[in-house]
Amino acid sequence: MTLRWKDGVFIPNPKSGSLEQLAANAKADEAFMRLLAKFTHQGRNVSDKSTARNYAPTEFARDGTDLNKTHYADAMRRLFNADKIRVESYGRWKYGRIVQC
């Protein structure tokens, strides 16, 4: 069993493929989609490029959730693979922003 430190206590890390891991992935995916909808509604574009100032996982982790950038990056990958999000061009220089499908 692998443990990690969180909020002053050790908690078990779920094993890959376990029900706990599947539930954690679903929570991260749902949080990503909820924050993407919130940012889109606010007119705040987010990018899939890790070098961008508006990289979605970084911006979402700053929004005060209990998930970190890595959780959101993994969720973004899963959501792209499931065709639930896509990149859309916008602006004069054809920047890319993430949108829901």
Is residue 8 included in any domain, yes or no?
A: no
Is residue 11 included in any domain, yes or no?
A: no
pLDDT, one tens digit per residue, over 61-88 is: 998 778 999 999 999 999 999 999 999 9
Is residue 32 included in any domain, yes or no?
A: yes
Where does the pLDDT of residue 7 fall: very low under 50, low under 70, confident under 90, or very high at 90 and above?
Answer: confident
pTM for the full predicted model: 0.81
Beta carbons within 8 Å of 50's beta carbon, 6+ residues apart: 73
Is residue 20 included in any domain, yes or no?
A: no
Is residue 35 included in any domain, yes or no?
A: yes
Q: CATH number of the domain at 94, please.
A: 1.10.10
Please give the Cα distance from 75 to 77 (Å, whole number): 5
Is residue 70 included in any domain, yes or no?
A: yes
Number of domains in the chain: 1
